Copies of this chain bind each other. A is one copy, B any other.
């Protein structure tokens, strides 16, 4: 008996005569008198299996002819070259063991004409994941993250873990989930940034934190999640925020490169054409943003954030002028940014804040942080915040903090962007929404 498992993707006509052990699912069963055809599937693809009654033990053949779709099976068989079979081979079953049988499924695993609606797909997510397209998304997301973290590892960034439970609400206070923490109230972080900064103040120099973040928004858009993940990077001793742009685009490029190297089949399953974006990514800056928009017939009020329409227009502009989907927006108005961002000293209206966008989708925000204690404190006053509430953070800036900055790349957003997924939920195994907590 063969001990080593063969994967569907490893089968070849040239293996003619070779005994194999397959483990996966009976995706489709066709019973033609004394022959049963089984479409076998594992996480790498499908294969045609054939059971011929006269070659098999009576009990085994009976089991095979009674197989229900999606039953989990273990098959011993022999590869036979075949000029009729589409793949150029079939696997003739010698023995089959039912590992776990399946009842009729509530949703289809092999979608042909009818597509299951989103809500139902996520009700039955554990079945929905068996679709080759679902699986392909997560293989790609894993390769993307792997490529990004490998780049960071190789460039001396330490993989660290910052806290998820916050003792103080973030500066805005809005949209946080509240926790009963023993006899107190605490909060789930929206972003681990302040703790990344405290880590930098602690001398760790270059770090990344790949973890969850939460946002208690009631909105149900195709690009928001209540629980999402970010690859959050922070670097000490930077010259300025432009250095972060160069770093961020290399992280993104390394992720996409890794997808291209390892997920050719998955990209083809999804019908996605993917290329490593050229560096440097274009950058557009405030206040020029106003002029660009005005030239396209849009007047964006001062001291407001980019709205959806502006994002669409900027995406068009960048596509036209630079032939690029990825682009940075830099030097946002300080008025709309948090207290901790660094401004341009000579032009205090503008912050060294950068967003990375893909078309009209925001992938990340970041920039250079203010490291000078006195400036930080005056910015807190300017934002009408209570310095006392932020003392747990600001006190450390009295003890010699280097110039630093960073960014947090949304893992699901980036996956959504490069795979052109209509809904971000497709890039989450088990999404959390205002009205979805299960499975």
Binding site for B on A (CB under 8 A): 5, 23-25, 41-43, 70-72, 74, 99-103, 105, 124-130, 134-135, 138-139, 141-142, 145-146, 149, 153, 158-168, 177-182, 184, 186, 188, 195, 198-199, 201-205, 210-212, 214, 216, 218, 226-227, 229, 237, 371-373, 392-393, 396-403, 411, 428-430, 432, 434-435, 437-439
Contact = CB atoms under 8 A, between A and B. Distances in A.
A173 to B, nearest CB: 14
A165 B70 contact: no
A227 B165 contact: yes
Contacts of A214: 165
Given A100-B401, A430-B195, A204 B129 contact: yes
- Copies of chain A in the complex: 2
The 6 closest A-B pairs by CB, nearest first: A167-B437, A129-B202, A102-B400, A72-B400, A142-B158, A43-B205
B138 A204 contact: yes
Contact of A142 (B160, B168, B372): B160
A24 to B, nearest CB: 8
Residue of A24, A146, A163, A403 most packed against chain B (CB within 10 A): A163
B5 A237 contact: yes
Contacts of A141: 160
B135 A402 contact: no
Contact of A188 (B71, B125, B130, B179): B179
A165 B434 CA distance: 12
A432 B163 CA distance: 8
A212 B210 contact: no
A345 to B, nearest CB: 14
Given A100-B373, A127-B201, A128-B202, 12 more contacts: A100-B372, A100-B400, A100-B401, A126-B201, A135-B202, A165-B437, A178-B179, A179-B180, A181-B437, A210-B210, A212-B212, A392-B438
Given A153-B146, A226-B165, A428-B161, A23 B402 contact: yes
Contacts of A203: 24-25, 41-43, 129-130, 135
A239 to B, nearest CB: 9
A42 B205 contact: yes
A209 to B, nearest CB: 9
B182 A179 contact: no
